[in-house]
Amino acid sequence: MAEPSARIAAKVTMLFGDRAPEVATSLRELDFGLQSSDRVHAAVLILSGSEWNKLDEALRIARIDWRDVLVAAGLANGDWPQRVDAFLTSS
């Protein structure tokens, strides 16, 4: 379990508005060992496309195997830090 970073929290608020606390709780409950929390959390948000049904599916995938959510979101390669930064700084 990892607390969403300030960058992730800001993006969650941008994408989900008043329901951001609920999304943050779901992200906080994910278990992904020592992997970068921003990387996994961003992957879930990318896959969600800010839609609740897609968020649920992304969370389901991440709960089964967090590596699958990285692949699905395009964050499995060495350029993931730049891709996460680009996603989190976009409006």
The answer to whether the beta carbons of residues 5 and 11 sit under 8 Å apart is no
Please tell me what DSSP assigns to residue 35. S
pLDDT band of 2, cuts 50, 70, 90: confident
Region of residue 35 (phi > 0: left; psi between -120 and 50: alpha; otherwise: beta): beta
3-state SS, 53-81, equals: HHHHHHHHHHHHCHHHHHHHHCCCCCCHH
Do the Cβ atoms of 53 and 24 come closer than 8 Å?
no
**pTM of the predicted model as reported, rounded to 2 decimal places:** 0.94
Domain membership flag for residue 11: yes
Domain encompassing residue 64 = 6-89
Residue 50 lies in a domain: yes
Number of domains in the chain: 1
1 within a domain of the structure (yes/no): no
**Higher per-residue pLDDT: 61 or 2:** 61
Structure confidence at residue 78 (pLDDT): 94
- Kindly report, residue by residue over 31-84, the tens digit of the pLDDT: 887 777 999 999 999 999 999 999 999 999 999 999 999 999 999 999 999 999
- Amino acid at site 16: F
- CA–chain centroid gap for 75, Å, is 11
Say if 67 falls within a structural domain.
Answer: yes
Please report whether residue 79 resides in a domain: yes
In a domain, 60, yes or no: yes
